[in-house]
């Protein structure tokens, strides 16, 4: 175990301590004087990691789509036959888990019995127990979850946009997989994925609330022993700069067409802090050029081409990066034309010293507000920063130092029409 | 900490929850009116029309720019329902002065809310027609889009079926026809009625200069012409003599089952804790019967949970299932309620529910909006019950208290949204 490092933010009046446990697990303890404490442990295993090799294996092996999410569902089941939720119920903790494109996270919030709850969380995550029977049972539950998602037009239009942008990157595949793909999952698949990705060296833990480092370490010592670090490598795919398809259309029962226009970005830095900086630029572009204060929004809202459902969605990570707008509209093609026209001229002019300063205040304020909740702190710290290799407290420095020129440069590189796609869900 | 409640005008209450644990304050101003067909659409339109522009800031962009300069404060327009009451208003979470180089953003936000309400943008003496028409279009789209979310649609349809002829069947958006009938003149008249006659509940959580806050609230929200308050009492839904069964076909893959129950229990401070413990055992706790048995053991669904309306005395149990499992799921859900009635509740189920509720109550003070929601639901009572009071009350409850709650339930309506699509994603094409 290395020496704990304490990191302070004078602006926020907050402090956290980080240490690498002897198992390889990075542990963050963030004291916060609120009633409920929050524990979150996450692994760098998301839906995009469907082809990988472990240790000294020569060849990559591909697993069925949706396996990270399936594994997440199975980790709260135990050999003693007692569900982890029942164990948490005894400490009064509220537990949950989620899978994204990039990570799987397990979490619990509790008021009274923090360390016993943390022990249940860590024990569950490091004690896989899969049988033919319990895998079969879960296939029924997850099939219903997938069906529910498939009936959701917003999900469909967003996945359609990703299918439009990407030829090979697995971000185009539904996080939960499909009903046929999850039916191929076996206990062996799950054990292989668990061994590969649930190695403490591939994970990070945050305890936020009424916690001390010594007591958190005592629980970690108890739950994490005898696990050797094994390197795991996910296959990376190269993607061209242009969108794979110009249009993706689906028909569903909706009241009017729903549209998502996506822009593919291949300019991804290997430096995590550079990526944070660029994602701040995406935030600022969204706030300045597309949100309600922009002329773009006002004129399209007035002409009825967009509705209040209008929103932007963007991700800038190590393995994919895109920017998109979402709305319902009666005229998808007219909206696409306006979008292309605006992003080629007009958008850059919207970035003025005044609009830049307003957007920066919005970002700054949202960041400060996120420190009012142990849940937000633990999620942001681990998922958005630690697992990406960045430091949460450096964020305000980036926001302070970023310039309008940099944002303009990012915008100019981003908005190239050949990188655009439009996904539409049309009424049946 | 209990709220400090003070009547500052005829039917105008200022409620302050002092707390210094947060970097933001929370301010919510709510106007309460009886839910009625004539006014539902008007009330629903008002916050969004008022947010489009006021005398000083005539466009939406002007208002958003002002909010961004106020350190990115959001200003939410709210419309909702509570019992037979429809409320409308605004909510915001301004940063505290420590983070704004001394600017009192909270005072600015309260003042802005007042401007939107009291100094709206008028043309020829009425609200600007262009904004009214544009928000009518938006709200109409939203009403039509309600069909996109099958889960909430199936719950809402069940509630409508249970409350035919009752205010609970009136959508809090109004209907498409009611929205279409709105004119700028009618909306302007409605705004003035609300300012003068609606009950007003102002909620402020955080750190405030309370004297200034009270003076500002009187100045902003107690109009000179305030008249008698409106009736906001509630009539619960009566049990059905015969179960009402409704099935609707839609081209989706998953079936949605909504079982609507009535309860004869009334939400007094004393009864509410036992009611919550019952809901914990049935649905909301991680050890609940619906989660553990209907989902985990029978593998029938991804979700199955109960949505209570404490004021109307109803509970809707909602789940998403394979269409051919309707009878099985219906039977399974009803048998869980029967089990609770018969006292068939294990220690794990009872204690799991109790601990989960206690944790939930204790953590309410970690979130300003949660505190406001908690206490604002209690203004129908003559006193406030704190989450800590509920924790204490809950400790003494036993299985027989929970069974007693279950015994007040009667099945009223079975609503089934029958999915007619089969198999994998179809209708996709690439260019």
DSSP result, B239-292: PPSS-EEEEEEES-SSEEEEEEEEE-----HHHHHHHHHHHIIIIISTT-HIII
Query: Which residues in chain A have Cβ-Cβ distances shorter than 8 Å to B424?
Result: 178-180
Least-confidence region, from A158-172, B96-110, B117-131: B96-110
Query: Which residues in chain B have Cβ-Cβ distances shorter than 8 Å to A35?
Result: 362-363, 365-366
Cβ contact, residue pair B286, A308, below 8 Å: no
Cβ contact, residue pair A362, B295, below 8 Å: no
The pair phi, psi for residue B365, each rounded to 5°, is -75, 0
Query: Which residues in chain B have Cβ-Cβ distances shorter than 8 Å to A420?
Result: none
Q: Which of B252, B287, B295 has its CB closest to that of A151?
A: B252
Cβ contact, residue pair A255, B144, below 8 Å: yes
Query: Shortest Cα distance from B128 to chain A (angstroms)?
Result: 14
Q: Which of A141, A247, A256 has its CB closest to that of B141?
A: A256
Q: What secondary structure letter does DSSP report for B300?
A: -
Same structural domain for residues B188 and B276? no
Beta bridge partners of A38: A109, A208
Task: Using the predicted structure, report yes or no on whether residue B423 has a pLDDT greater than 80.
Answer: no
Task: Using the predicted structure, report yes or no on whether residue A134 has a pLDDT greater than 80.
Answer: yes
Query: Which residues in chain A have Cβ-Cβ distances shorter than 8 Å to B365?
Result: 35
For residues B312 and B168, is the Cβ–Cβ distance under 8 A? yes
- The enclosing domain of B396 has a CATH number of 3.30.830.10
Give the integer Cα–Cα distance in Å for A300 and B138: 13
In chain A, the domains with their CATH numbers are 5-234 (3.30.830.10), 247-427 (3.30.830.10)
Same structural domain for residues B271 and B203? no
Residue B16 lies in a domain: yes
For residues B30 and B376, is the Cβ–Cβ distance under 8 A? yes
Q: Which of A89, A112, A374 has its CB closest to that of B286?
A: A89
What average pLDDT does range B272-288 have in this prediction?
91
What percent of chain A lies above the pLDDT cut of 90?
81
- According to DSSP H, which parts of B176-209 are helical? 176-180, 184-197
Residue B321, H or E segment: strand B314-321
Structure tokens at A9: 């933010």
Least-confidence region, from A167-171, A359-363, B341-345, B379-383: B379-383
Give the integer Cα–Cα distance in Å for B173 and B190: 15
What average pLDDT does range A90-118 have in this prediction?
94
Of the candidates B107, B127, B126, the one whose C-alpha atom is nearest the C-alpha of residue B47 is B127
Same structural domain for residues B67 and B168? yes
Cβ contact, residue pair B93, A110, below 8 Å: no
Q: What secondary structure letter does DSSP report for B146?
A: G
Residue B189 lies in a domain: yes
Same structural domain for residues B95 and B16? yes
Of the candidates A316, A162, A174, the one whose C-alpha atom is nearest the C-alpha of residue A243 is A162
pLDDT averaged over every residue in chain B: 91
What average pLDDT does range A115-136 have in this prediction?
95
Give the integer Cα–Cα distance in Å for B293 and B295: 6
Split at pLDDT 50, 70, 90, the class of B146 is: confident
Task: Using the predicted structure, report yes or no on whether residue A426 has a pLDDT greater than 70.
Answer: yes
Query: SS in 3 state form for A23-47?
Result: CCCEEEEEECCCCCEEEEEEECCCC
Same structural domain for residues B183 and B313? no
The pair phi, psi for residue A199, each rounded to 5°, is -90, 130
Q: Which of B61, B138, B429 has its CB closest to that of A298?
A: B61
Cβ contact, residue pair A248, B134, below 8 Å: no
Query: Which residues in chain B have Cβ-Cβ distances shorter than 8 Å to A256?
Result: 141, 144-145
Split at pLDDT 50, 70, 90, the class of B281 is: very high
Task: Using the predicted structure, report yes or no on whether residue B431 has a pLDDT greater than 60.
Answer: no
For residues A188 and B426, the model is more confident at A188
For residues A319 and A169, is the Cβ–Cβ distance under 8 A? yes
Burial class (CB in 10 A: 0-12, 13-18, 19+), A201: middle
State yes or no: is A72 an active-site residue: yes
Least-confidence region, from A73-77, A146-150, A177-181: A146-150
Give the integer Cα–Cα distance in Å for A143 and B299: 10
Split at pLDDT 50, 70, 90, the class of B224 is: confident
Query: Shortest Cα distance from A126 to chain B (angstroms)?
Result: 21
A186 contact partners, CB below 8 Å, separation of at least 6: A132, A135
Burial class (CB in 10 A: 0-12, 13-18, 19+), A377: buried
What average pLDDT does range B249-258 have in this prediction?
90
Other beta carbons within 10 angstroms of residue B307's beta carbon come to: 17
Residue B57 lies in a domain: yes
Residue B130, H or E segment: helix B129-145
Residue B232 lies in a domain: no
What average pLDDT does range A296-318 have in this prediction?
93
Structure tokens at B75: 């200003």
Choose, out of B20, B250, B254, B424, the residue to mutate when testing the contact with A (most A CBs < 10 Å).
B254
Structure tokens at A424: 């539409």
Closest-CA residue of B relative to A329 is B141
Q: Give residue A302's pLDDT.
A: 86
Residue B128: give the domain boundaries: 4-221
Same structural domain for residues B348 and B264? yes
Burial class (CB in 10 A: 0-12, 13-18, 19+), B123: exposed
Same structural domain for residues B316 and B379? yes
ipTM > 0.85 for the complex: no
Q: Which of B23, B250, B365 has its CB closest to that of A253?
A: B250
What sign does the dihedral A238-A242-A245-A249 (CA atoms) show? Answer: positive
Q: Which of B252, B301, B352 has its CB closest to that of A86?
A: B352
Task: Using the predicted structure, report yes or no on whether residue A1 has a pLDDT greater than 80.
Answer: no
Cβ contact, residue pair B93, A369, below 8 Å: yes
Query: Shortest Cα distance from B353 to chain A (angstroms)?
Result: 8
Closest-CA residue of B relative to A293 is B61
Give the integer Cα–Cα distance in Å for B231 and B228: 10
Same structural domain for residues B114 and B249? no
Split at pLDDT 50, 70, 90, the class of B429 is: very low
Query: SS in 3 state form for chain A?
Result: CCCCEEEEECCCCEEEEEEECCCCCEEEEEECCCCCEEEEEEECCCCCCCEEEECCCCCCEECCCCHHHHHHHHCCCCCCCCCHHHHHHHHCCEEEEEECCCCEEEEEEECCCHHHHHHHHHHHHCCCCCCHHHHHHHHHHHHHHHHHHHCCHHHHHHHHHHHHHCCCCHHHCCCCCCHHHHHCCCHHHHHHHHHHHCCHHHEEEEEEECCCHHHHHHHHHHHCCCCCCCCEEECCCCCCCCCCCCEEEEEECCCCCEEEEEEECCCCCCCHHHHHHHHHHHHHHHHHHHCCCCHHHHHHHHCCCCCCCCEEEEEECCCCEEEEEEEECCCHHHHHHHHHHHHHCCCHHHCCHHHHHHHHHHHHHHHHHHHHCHHHHHHHHHHHHHHHCCCHHHHHHHHHHCCHHHHHHHHHHHCCHHHEEEEEEEEC
Give the integer Cα–Cα distance in Å for A31 and A52: 37
Residue B256 lies in a domain: yes
Least-confidence region, from A257-271, A412-426, B368-382: B368-382
> Over the stretch A255-271, which tens digit does the pLDDT of each residue have?
899 999 999 999 999 99
Residue B182 lies in a domain: yes
Same structural domain for residues B69 and B217? yes
Same structural domain for residues B270 and B353? yes
Split at pLDDT 50, 70, 90, the class of A149 is: confident
pLDDT averaged over every residue in chain A: 94
Write out residues 102-161 of A within 8 Å (CB-CB) of B: 109-112, 137-138, 140-142, 144-145, 147-148, 150-154, 160
A111 contact partners, CB below 8 Å, separation of at least 6: A35, A36, A37, A92, B358, B359, B362, B363
For residues A190 and A71, is the Cβ–Cβ distance under 8 A? yes
Split at pLDDT 50, 70, 90, the class of B428 is: very low
Structure tokens at A308: 């209040």
Give the integer Cα–Cα distance in Å for A30 and A417: 44
Residue B231 lies in a domain: no
Task: Using the predicted structure, report yes or no on whether residue B427 has a pLDDT greater than 70.
Answer: no
Q: Give residue B229's pLDDT.
A: 67
Task: Using the predicted structure, report yes or no on whether residue B426 has a pLDDT greater than 50.
Answer: no
Which of B190, B221, B252 terminates a domain? The answer is: B221
Query: Which residues in chain A have Cβ-Cβ distances shorter than 8 Å to B291?
Result: 85
Query: Which residues in chain B have Cβ-Cβ distances shorter than 8 Å to A253?
Result: 147-148, 250-252
Give the total number of structural domains in chain B. 2
Give the integer Cα–Cα distance in Å for A44 and A384: 11
What average pLDDT does range A287-309 have in this prediction?
92
What average pLDDT does range B203-212 have in this prediction?
96
Same structural domain for residues B274 and B204? no
Task: Using the predicted structure, report yes or no on whether residue B207 has a pLDDT greater than 60.
Answer: yes
Task: Using the predicted structure, report yes or no on whether residue B424 has a pLDDT greater than 70.
Answer: no
Largest CA-CA distance found in chain A, in angstroms, rounded: 64
Cβ contact, residue pair A86, B365, below 8 Å: no
Same structural domain for residues B210 and B250? no
Point out the catalytic residue in the list A14, A72, A318, A354: A72
Cβ contact, residue pair B145, A254, below 8 Å: yes
Which of B221, B253, B271 terminates a domain? The answer is: B221
Structure tokens at A297: 């929004």
Residue B426 lies in a domain: no
For residues B262 and B238, is the Cβ–Cβ distance under 8 A? yes
């Amino acid at each position: 175990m290395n020496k704990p490092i304490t990191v302070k933010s004078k602006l926020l009046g907050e402090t956290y301590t980080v240490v690498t446990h002897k198992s390889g697990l990075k542990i963050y303890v963030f004291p916060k004087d609120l009633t409920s404490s929050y524990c979150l442990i996450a692994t760098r295993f998301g839906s995009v990691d469907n082809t990988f090799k472990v240790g000294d294996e020569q060849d990559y092996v591909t697993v069925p789509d949706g396996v990270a999410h399936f594994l997440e569902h199975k980790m709260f089941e135990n050999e003693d036959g007692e569900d982890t939720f029942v164990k948490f119920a005894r400490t009064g903790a509220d537990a949950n888990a989620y899978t994204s494109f990039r990570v799987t996270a397990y979490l619990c919030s509790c008021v009274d019995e923090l360390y016993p709850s943390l022990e249940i969380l860590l024990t569950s995550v490091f004690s896989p127990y899969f049988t033919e029977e319990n895998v079969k049972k879960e296939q029924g539950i997850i099939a219903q979850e997938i069906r529910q998602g498939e009936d959701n037009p917003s999900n469909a239009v967003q996945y359609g946009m990703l299918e439009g942008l990407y030829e090979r990157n697995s971000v185009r595949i539904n996080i939960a997989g499909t009903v046929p793909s999850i039916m191929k999952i076996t206990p062996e698949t799950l054990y292989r994925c668990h061994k590969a990705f649930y190695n403490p060296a591939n994970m990070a833990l945050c305890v936020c609330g009424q916690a001390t480092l010594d007591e958190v370490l005592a629980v970690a010592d108890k739950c994490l022993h005898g696990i050797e670090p094994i390197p795991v490598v996910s296959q990376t795919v190269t993607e061209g700069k242009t969108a794979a398809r110009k249009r993706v259309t689906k028909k569903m029962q909706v009241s009017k067409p729903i549209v998502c226009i996506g822009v593919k970005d291949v300019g991804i830095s290997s430096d995590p802090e550079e990526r944070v900086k660029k994602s701040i630029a995406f935030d600022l572009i969204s706030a300045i050029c597309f949100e309600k204060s922009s002329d773009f929004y006002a004129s399209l809202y007035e002409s009825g081409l967009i509705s209040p459902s209008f929103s932007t969605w963007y991700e800038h990570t190590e393995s994919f990066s895109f920017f998109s707008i979402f709305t319902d509209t009666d005229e998808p093609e007219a909206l696409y034309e306006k979008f292309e026209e605006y992003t080629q001229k007009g958008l850059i002019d919207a970035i003025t010293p005044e609009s830049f300063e307003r957007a920066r205040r919005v970002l700054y304020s949202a960041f400060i507000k996120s420190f009012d909740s142990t849940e937000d702190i633990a999620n942001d710290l681990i998922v958005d920063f630690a697992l990406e290799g960045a430091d949460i407290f450096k964020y305000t420095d980036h926001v302070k130092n970023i310039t309008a020129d940099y944002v303009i440069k990012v915008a100019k590189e981003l908005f190239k029409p050949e990188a655009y796609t439009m996904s539409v869900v049309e009424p049946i | 900490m209990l709220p400090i409640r003070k009547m500052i005008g005829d039917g105008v209450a200022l409620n302050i929850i002092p707390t210094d644990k947060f970097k933001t304050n929370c301010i919510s101003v709510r106007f309460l009116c009886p839910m009625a067909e004539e006014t539902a659409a008007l009330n629903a339109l008002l916050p969004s029309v008022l947010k489009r522009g006021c005398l000083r800031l005539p466009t939406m962009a002007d208002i958003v720019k002002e909010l961004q300069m106020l350190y990115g404060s959001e200003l939410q327009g709210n419309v909702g329902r509570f019992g037979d009451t429809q409320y409308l208003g605004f909510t915001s979470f301004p940063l505290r002065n420590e983070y704004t180089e001394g600017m009192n953003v909270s005072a600015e936000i309260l003042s802005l809310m007042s401007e939107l309400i009291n100094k709206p943008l008028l043309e020829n003496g009425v609200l600007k027609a262009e904004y009214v028409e544009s928000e009518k279009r938006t709200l109409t789209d939203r009403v039509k889009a309600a069909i996109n979310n099958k889960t909430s649609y199936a719950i809402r349809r069940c509630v409508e079926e249970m409350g035919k002829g009752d205010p609970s069947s009136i959508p809090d958006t109004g209907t498409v026809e009611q929205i279409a009938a709105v004119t700028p003149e009618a909306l302007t008249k409605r705004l003035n009625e609300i300012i003068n006659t609606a009950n007003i509940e102002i909620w402020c959580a955080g750190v405030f200069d309370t004297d200034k806050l009270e003076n500002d609230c009187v100045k902003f929200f107690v109009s000179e012409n305030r008249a008698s308050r409106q009736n906001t009492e509630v009539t619960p839904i009566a049990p059905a003599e015969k179960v009402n069964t409704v099935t609707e076909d839609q081209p989706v893959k998953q079936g949605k089952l909504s079982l609507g129950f009535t309860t004869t229990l009334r939400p007094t401070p004393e009864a509410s804790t036992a009611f919550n413990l019952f809901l914990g055992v049935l649905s909301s706790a991680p050890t609940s019967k619906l989660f553990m048995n209907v989902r985990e053991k029978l593998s029938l669904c991804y979700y199955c949970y109960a949505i209570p309306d404490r004021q109307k005395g109803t509970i809707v149990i909602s789940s998403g299932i394979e269409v051919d499992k309707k009878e099985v799921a219906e039977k399974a859900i009803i048998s869980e309620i029967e089990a609770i009635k018969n006292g068939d509740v294990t220690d794990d189920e009872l204690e799991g529910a109790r601990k989960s509720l206690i944790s939930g109550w204790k953590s309410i003070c970690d979130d300003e909006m949660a505190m406001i929601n908690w206490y604002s639901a209690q203004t129908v009572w003559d006193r406030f019950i704190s989450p800590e009071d509920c924790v204490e009350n809950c400790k003494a409850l036993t299985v027989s208290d929970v069974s007693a709650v279950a015994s007040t339930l009667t099945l009223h309506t079975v609503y089934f949204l029958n999915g007619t699509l089969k198999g994998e994603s179809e209708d996709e094409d690439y260019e």
